[in-house]
Structure 1
Amino acid sequence: MSVRSDDDSWDITESVGATAIGVAAMRAAETRRPDALFRDPYAARLVEAAGSGWSHIMRAQVVATSAGADPAGEGGHAYSSLAAMLIARTVYFDEYFAAASAAGIRQVVILASGLDARAYRLEWPSGTVVFEIDQPKVLEFKNSVLADEQPAVDRRAIGVDLRQDWPKELWDNGFDPTAPTAWLAEGLLRYLPGEAQDRLFGDIAALSAPGSRIALNIGRGRSEDSPALQAMRERRKRLLAEAGITLNLEELWYPWEGRTDPRDWFTAHGWAVTVGDPVAVLSDHGREQPEAARAELNRHILMTATRGDENR
């Protein structure tokens, strides 16, 4: 059951904002692996600056990895299948942006950007503009921590709640609705009620010129209660508690039941949908997953959609 309200807000250490620290901690741990699938040199700095128990988790994860454990596998120290999904989606979305750039797209919008550092860590073609939208306090924190860093792109941070009139704020900051856009909704949709999700999709479609594309992920329903998954969750809960973290993701989520499947929404509105497979993303990069992790990964939707010349 969600503890959320339709007008709640947060900073980086509260509620939904705190989840961004956890995600950054896992990116930092992956970055320090000798066989890392991506590099985010800013993640550890952002986690440490937050001053939360996540820095303890991050360091413990690195120790486990250096000892030979796979943080996304059964021998991982804290995250197991959760880390596997976060790693898979990071790789998938990084590759999505590379493909969008290769296709000539020079306008990017990252929705609920949190501690995402792609504006700093990815290679962007000249002339690209990256808009980041999130709660004002979340962006203020990131801007402060990375104040001495130079983005690799024209980065424009917009502090506005996605349940408010964010399209106007986007326009006011130089968004060009006549240019194709690469949108990203990473780790966002379950934090929105179903009707707010559909309004968001409608706003995105209205702002998207032909050739625009979107990438997103969402977890379906609840985890299966297999013994292996129960053990993973209990281990995670214990380690988080030892670090002083009492965050319960499922209390922050809105239900899957009753919401539109994003694949169906974009297909019905004339976008060409391509579905990703998180297990395949990892295996294609040499990260085979144990059976319990595969079952959990298969609950998650990874997808991209592209708008053609016509849409409905």
Structure 2
Amino acid sequence: MSPEQQWDIVSGVGLTALAVAAGRALETRRPDALVDDPYALAFLDAAEAPVPLPTTPEEVAAADGPRELWALMTEYLGVRSRVFDDFLTGAARAGTTQLVLLASGLDTRAFRLTWPAGTRCFELDRAPVLDFKLGVLDGQEARPGCAHVPVPVDLREDWAAELEAAGFDATRPTAWLAEGLLPYLPPEAEEQLFKEIDRLSPAGSALAVEHASGADDLLADPLLQEGGAAFGIDLPTLLPGGTRRTPQEQLTALGWTHETRTARASAEALGRTLDTAPTTADRMQHTFAHRP
């Protein structure tokens, strides 16, 4: 499989983006939904994924694959989406109205959330993913609730130059989001990511990061291996190995303050539990950092 094929919407990382959209569709259908994404199903309909991606509780119950994999989709993805929804909307309401979503995938926050006047949202991802997403949203007659700037770029390359060329203002406090991104970056690209965020962030900027404890052992995680097999994804070709510093260590070295909580703690703060996805609940972490 070529690198470009790996980033197609129905294979590799593109397929994981569809799985996340399926998780948001599942969450939207819950009576106690934490997220309302009216566009998630449209992505799945348009993509015609080569593997079944359940979007109803009944489809989850009938699905093959490890139980915790489907629990991750039905429980964790809704929690994760709401945690970072709240981070971004909270920052915007507090006056930080320049937002950058790194590896935005099929995220629809610019379209499904309410934003204060003057908010500008930059979305960075590979061109095939952005093109697919914006085409589907256009077909749904979706309109962003803020100034929306897609930036087609590979985050393993010089993404900062492309962001600045798209109109990003490095003198303006910014809220950054790295959701579902770090495992796909080589250690050196991850280090560079944090350094560039720091370089582009004046005082008052904020950053939210999703990451896993023991990230260097991620490929050995049985759930990850079983999940890749269930989705027909060759994960070793997508998740580079190598020892890396934790996000907290990198942010501390750059002078940022931060706090971290587990996915379990994030869920409990929203009145949810992740009891059927214990590996995810205890391994996945959410770090929130600020540039003094």
- Paired with 1:135 and 1:150, the residues of 2 have a C-alpha distance of 21
3-state SS of 1:217 partner: strand
User: Which of 57, 60, 71 matches 1:62?
Assistant: 57
Deviations 1:191-217 (A, max 9, x none): 000001001111111111110111111
Distance 1:49 1:287, change over 3 A: same
What amino acid does structure 2 have at the position aligned with 1:305? A
Q: Specify the SS of the correspondent of 2:53.
A: helix
SS in 2 for 1:133: strand
Please name the residue that 2:92 is paired with: 101
Q: 1:44 aligns with which of 41, 44, 52?
A: 41
The correspondence for 2:185, drawn from 192, 197, 209, is 192
List per-residue Cα deviations over 1:103-154 (Å, max 9, x = no partner): 2101000011110000001111100000001111111111111112111111
Q: Deviations over 1:210-264 (max 9, x none)?
A: 1011111112334887xxx77x976x678x4xxxx41244542122x51110011
**Separation (CA, whole Å) in 1 of partners of 2:200 and 2:228:** 41
> Could you tell me which residue of structure 1 aligns to residue 240 of structure 2?
254
Write the letter of the residue equivalent to 1:39: D
2:29 is matched with 32
Indicate yes or no: 2:269 matched with 1:284. yes
Q: CA deviation at 1:4?
A: 9.3
C-alpha contact (below 8 Å) 2:180/2:211 kept by paired residues = yes
Q: Normalization by structure 1: what TM-score?
A: 0.82
- The one-letter code of the counterpart of 2:57 is V
Q: Which residue of 1 aligns with 2:257?
A: 272
Structure 2 counterpart of 1:34, one-letter code: P
Distance in 1 (CA, whole Å) between partners of 2:183 and 2:269 is 27
Instruction: Give me the whole-angstrom Cα distance separating, in 2, the residues matched to 1:237 and 1:143.
Output: 27
Cα 1:284–1:75 change in 2 (3 A) is farther
Residue 116 of structure 2 is matched in structure 1 by 125
Structure 1 position 287, deviation (Å): 2.0
Structure 1 residue identity aligned to 2:259: T
Evaluate the alpha carbon distance shift between residue 104 and residue 112 of structure 1 in structure 2; reply closer, same or farther with a 3 A threshold. same
Q: Does residue 303 of structure 1 match 2:287? A: yes
8 Å CA contact 1:216, 1:302 repeated in 2 = yes
Give, as a single letter, the amino acid of the residue that structure 1 aligns with 2:111: Y
**Cα offset, 1:165, TM superposition:** 2.0
Paired with 2:94 and 2:277, the residues of 1 have a C-alpha distance of: 34
* TM-score, reference length from structure 2: 0.87
- Structure 1 range deviating more: 33-42 or 278-287: 278-287
Report the equivalent of 1:18: 15
Contact 1:180 1:212 in 2 (8 A): yes
| Equivalent runs, 1:149-168 vs 2, <5 Å | 149-168=142-161
Cα distance in 2, alignment partners of residues 274 and 181 from structure 1: 18
State the one-letter code of the partner of 1:37.
L
How big is the alpha-carbon RMSD for the aligned residues of Structure 1 and Structure 2? 2.7
**2:70 corresponds to 1:86:** no
State the identity as a percent.
Answer: 39
Partner Cα distance (1:8, 1:260) in 2: 30
User: 1:68-89, CA deviations, whole angstroms, 9 ceiling, x for partnerless residues?
Assistant: x7x9xx978x611454332232
